Structure 1
Amino acid sequence: MSGTYLIGVDGSEQSRVALAWGLARAGERGAAVELLHVADDSFLSESVAFLSEAQQASEQMLAAETEYARSLGFTGKISGSAVVGHPIAEIEEASRHADLLVLGAHGGGRLAGSFFGTRAVKAAATAHCPVAVIPKDDVRRDSTVVVGVDGSDASKKAIAFAAEEASFRGLPLVAVYAWMPPLTPGLEYLWSEELVESQRAAAEEAIAIGVAGLASRYPDLEIRREIVQAPPVAALVQAAEGADLLVVGSRGRGGISRLLLGSVSHGVLQALPCPVIVTRA
């Protein structure tokens, strides 16, 4: 993957970790980088003077982060946009022309103009390209690439993305399918061995279909299959502890529901055990 990486910046420690991650990846892939700073106008006066001052501050932030990016040794193409507006709307529009959106993870909205934390979840739901959310304490682990499998078209996109990533990095691909028996409180005693076996068989079939064809496309790729009887979010978070990357799919539903991520992708972004990429269906 080359193309253009859109990286959100706000000068904070969290966003600089994400910036470093995005620049390193762009350097490996020969991608151009576009930095984006959004000054949130939600609480600003609508007067021309206030908006002009906010625009000037946004441009100063962009210039400082561009200089910082160069100080990290990135020699590729860097462009940038400094805008005043609604962060999620501005990110969504900018993502139309990007191949990957990279955001840092904040614990909350402590910084003016910041569009991270829970906003990263909203950005992942509305963006038109895959979204990478990077934890504050990210370190390059070079261990595994983990991907969630559930048999859906969204997970097929995630598997394809994760397989290419793992092959490029020379890392094992860990495909995780998590399943739970039907939960009917008070009636657990009705679970039969046949029911459990059918659930397990369905899981094995889904993961086999999900990784089918990868061995011929990536002959040197090591593929590990993990079928786990556990809630999906818990299973993925555990598998991704110490991983280099976790990839999950988003169904990308239309209408107002596009503002919502599925429970699994939302859950892993909240836990963020390692860098997480949410792919588009």
Structure 2
Amino acid sequence: MSENYVIGVDGSEQSRAALAWGLERAKQRNASVELLHVADDSFLSESVAFLSEAQAASEAMLKTEIEYARSLGFEGVCKGTAVVGHPIAEVEEASKRADLVILGAHAGSRFAGSFFGTRAVKVAATAHCPVAVIPAPEPVEHKTVVVGIDGSEASQKAIAFAAEEASTRGLPLTAVYAWMPPLTPGLEYLWSEELVSSQRSAAEEAIAIGVAGLATRYPELEIRREIVQSPPVAALVDAARGAEMIVVGSRGRGGISRLLLGSVSHGVLQALPCPVVVTRS
């Protein structure tokens, strides 16, 4: 059964960058595409006339973006959905029928640096499938797929996605594990060589467990291991600059984790060093 991608469109430069990325991926994988445009009703009157006009405008925008998709040479299945509603809620609903949601790198809020961060962060925290956030296209300097490893179930999902992606693209997989010695301000002198050595050994064990089995499943896949003494977000962003893609795992959707994406995935999405995919736990 072929995959289905939901791509958010609004006619902006950012969404068209995501549209082009998603269509290219769909062509490579023979996937179907659903373009989604949401007319935000947050500030609309609830009168039937206003809502009707908003729906008509949404449908007109969708028609334009479908025509644009065809102008890019995409000949696969391309349907569209135009709705009036709350963008986050509508994308979450659409994610139930998708294998991947693809969004442009919109700030989506004048509070982009606040607790909730970008609109993409909110979508990634609530979606039912992996979410790809695509920045403006830049030259690819390092042809690799980067994945963050921390030994958690969430990172195992990310590794599985990243390995399949790297294998399909014929690229090496760069597995990054970032660690820091225990921070006790004023007592740094207590960091012994034994402590640092044990921390590094634990990191090596975690990354070995994380990539275990990949060589058997993907015998042609080159796996590069990077163990970095650095804060996780900084290490991942640095490793992913100029890369084809970075994949990070998210928490599950239960309880407060539905609203808290996680500091690492949140931080990587805020930096967007390259296309970022957030997988589901």
- Normalising by structure 1, report the TM-score: 0.95
- Taking the aligned partners of 2:268 and 2:253, their CA distance within structure 1 comes to 19
Structure 1 match to 2:114:
none
* Aligned counterparts, 1:79-228, within 5 A: 79-109=79-109, 118-139=118-139, 143-228=143-228
CA distance in 2, matches of 1:259, 1:79: 30
Shift of 1:108: 4.3
CA shift, 1:137, in A, is 3.0
Aligned residues: 275
Read off the aligned partner of 1:122 and give its amino acid letter.
K
Residue type at the aligned position of 2:273? P
SS for the counterpart of 1:244 is: strand
Change (3 A) 1:142 1:182: closer
Q: 1:35 Cα deviation (Å)?
A: 0.5
The one-letter code sitting in structure 2 at the alignment partner of 1:146 is V
**Percentage of identical aligned residues:** 81
Structure 2 distance, partners of 1:89, 1:223, is 38
In 2, Cα distance between equivalents of 1:134 and 1:195: 40
Matching residue of 2:268: 268
Unaligned runs of 5+ in 1: 111-116
- Within 1, Cα distance between the matches of 2:19 and 2:108? 18
Q: How far apart, in 2, do the equivalents of 1:108 and 1:91 lie?
A: 14
SS at match of 1:38: strand
CA distance in 2, matches of 1:19, 1:280: 22
**Partners of 1:233 and 1:264 within 8 A in 2:** yes
Query: RMSD between aligned alpha carbons?
Result: 1.4
- Structure 1 residues 142 and 180: CA distance shift in structure 2, 3 A: closer
The amino acid across from 2:19 in the alignment is: L
| Native 8 Å contact 1:33 1:79 kept in 2 | yes
List gaps (5 residues or longer) in structure 2: 111-116
The 1:109/1:56 distance shift into structure 2, 3 A limit, reads farther
Question: Residue 245 of structure 1 contacts residue 274 of structure 1 at CA under 8 Å; is this kept in 2?
Answer: yes
Contact residue 242 and residue 273 of structure 1 kept, 8 A: yes
Please tell me whether the aligned partners of residues 246 and 277 of structure 2 are also in contact (alpha carbons under 8 angstroms): yes
